[in-house]
Amino acid sequence: MLAKPRSPDQALAHGVWVKWIGGASNQDLPAIQDLAGIYALAGVHCLDVAADPAVVAAARRGIAWAADHGAERPWLMVSLSDGADPHFRKAWFDPAHCPAECPRPCERVCPAQAIGVPATGQAGVLTERCYGCGRCLPSCPLGLIEERDHQLTSAAVAPLLAALRPDAVELHTRLGRGEAFAQRVEQLRASGVPLKRLAVSCGLEPAVGERATPLPVSPSELAAELWHRFAVLRAAGYRPLWQLDGRPMSGDVGAGTAHAAVNLAMAVAAQSPPGPLQLAGGTNAHSLAVLERQGSKGTVVRGVAFGGVARSLLQPLLQQAQERGRTLLADASLWPQALALAEGLVRPWLALERR
Ligand code: SF4
Ligand code: SF4
């Protein structure tokens, strides 16, 4: 039995913070509403979705459903970027160029069922469902699938934020993009929206074109860049949350990916600026065990975010609901199963201090 749920800020302070990631470019509204509702009811402290009015409205409907079922309202966070970033891409190909005899490996590897079935007349990428995980890109034997970037213009940021009024923002950045980061922060500030946190998402990849030899980048270099971001946030009056992308956009749920996220956090922690540190990228059901083996539960790492694994876990139930012509939240025979699965992923983190 869990104790009384903690507020998002308390969860960060106690190292039991859990965030659900809907995807910075995911516009699959029925799935977002369903997943937001289920994970909010499972007890996550924050829902992180695309900075898109329809997506935010879908997430808020999910939150309202969860609140009606007794959940605490989590923070709503929206994701932005200060430059090109795989989180803000979508896959694209022209199905007219696909040979009729192709066994369609692209369709099979897509975790979001975003690549249409020819029999339905939708053989290409269904843009609203694609969240840019990248799994399909190498799957095409003819190399037909390309990635397309979806980013806001500078002028669009402040009015969009003022319209969405989220509780928090996640800003994806990369090494070498300090100036672009500062500009985005200024645009956020211009919106006048008070933010409870500004989460900075960064991994070890440098900005595209920043280096002749892009890898490897060391954890020390990453920590130095985080200190720069910290100075920008402090000057703007924002409180940071550091999100370390161990393996960005992995879409992977295997045990091995958990190590990348934990190892990066452990390597950077001693040198990172003030503010809570959260695992992301490659996180899954094994992350906590990996963290515990390293001897750090809530001490170094203050929380976790689940994206691909959270969706994959519930995908069969989402599919069943879709086949029944209703949402998961509207199906009383399905949503309790979804909730049990979501709780299985989330509750070990929520219960950390009580072990
Ligand atoms: S595999 Fe990933 S990138 Fe490709 S269509 Fe599906 S969601 Fe989009
Ligand atoms: S694998 Fe390539 S050729 Fe085959 S259906 Fe997919 S995009 Fe078309």
pLDDT at 299: 64
Query: Is residue 222 in some structural domain?
Result: yes
Task: Report the nearest atom of ligand 1 relative to the CA of 126.
Answer: 5
Per DSSP, the three-state class of 306 is: strand
Domain of residue 127, CATH code: 3.30.70.20
Ligand 1, atom 8, residue with closest C-alpha: 130
Q: Name which of 156, 168, 245, 170 is nearest 200 in CA terms.
A: 170
What pLDDT was estimated at residue 353?
Answer: 59
Tell me, yes or no, whether 214 lies in a domain: yes
Residue 216 pLDDT greater than 70, yes or no: no
* Domain containing residue 127: 92-148
For 262-295, the pLDDT digits (tens) are: 777 778 888 889 999 998 877 877 777 777 777 6
Mutation to probe ligand 2, out of 94, 106, 122 (largest number of atoms < 8 A from CB): 106
Identify whether residues 97 and 78 lie together within a single domain.
no
Instruction: Calculate how far, in angstroms, residue 97's C-alpha sits from the geometric centre of ligand 2.
Output: 8
Tell whether 225 and 296 lie within a shared domain: yes
Span 157-179, average pLDDT: 94
Q: Where do the H-state alpha helices sit in the chain?
A: 8-14, 29-42, 53-68, 105-109, 154-164, 178-190, 219-236, 255-269, 287-293, 308-323, 335-350
Task: Classify residue 2: in a domain, yes or no.
Answer: no
- How far apart CA 236 and CA 233 sit, in angstroms, is 5
Q: Are residues 278 and 180 in the same domain?
A: yes
Do 31 and 101 belong together in one domain? no
pLDDT digits (tens, 9 = 90+) for 287-339: 777 777 776 555 678 899 998 889 989 999 999 999 999 999 999 999 999 99
* Ligand 2 lining (C-beta closer than 6 Å): 93, 98, 102, 104-106, 139-140, 142, 144-145
Residue 341 domain flag: yes
Residue from 125, 268, 275 nearest 203 by CA: 268
Average pLDDT score, the chain: 87
- Alpha-carbon distance values, 8 to 43, 74, 144, 256, 310 (Å): 10, 7, 43, 29, 19
Q: Structural domain tally of the chain?
A: 2
Of residues 97 and 90, the one with the higher pLDDT is 97
Same domain, 173 and 250: yes
**Please, which pLDDT band fits residue 58 given cuts at 50, 70 and 90?**
very high
Is 165 found in the same domain as 76? yes
Question: Does a structural domain hold residue 1?
Answer: no
Residues 60-79: pLDDT tens digits? 999 999 999 999 999 999 99
**Beta strands at 89-92 and 46-50: parallel, antiparallel or unpaired:** unpaired
pTM, two decimals, is 0.83
Distance (Å, whole) CA 72 – CA 65: 11
Task: Say which DSSP state 206 is in.
Answer: B
Ligand 1: which atom is nearest the Cα of residue 125? Answer: 5
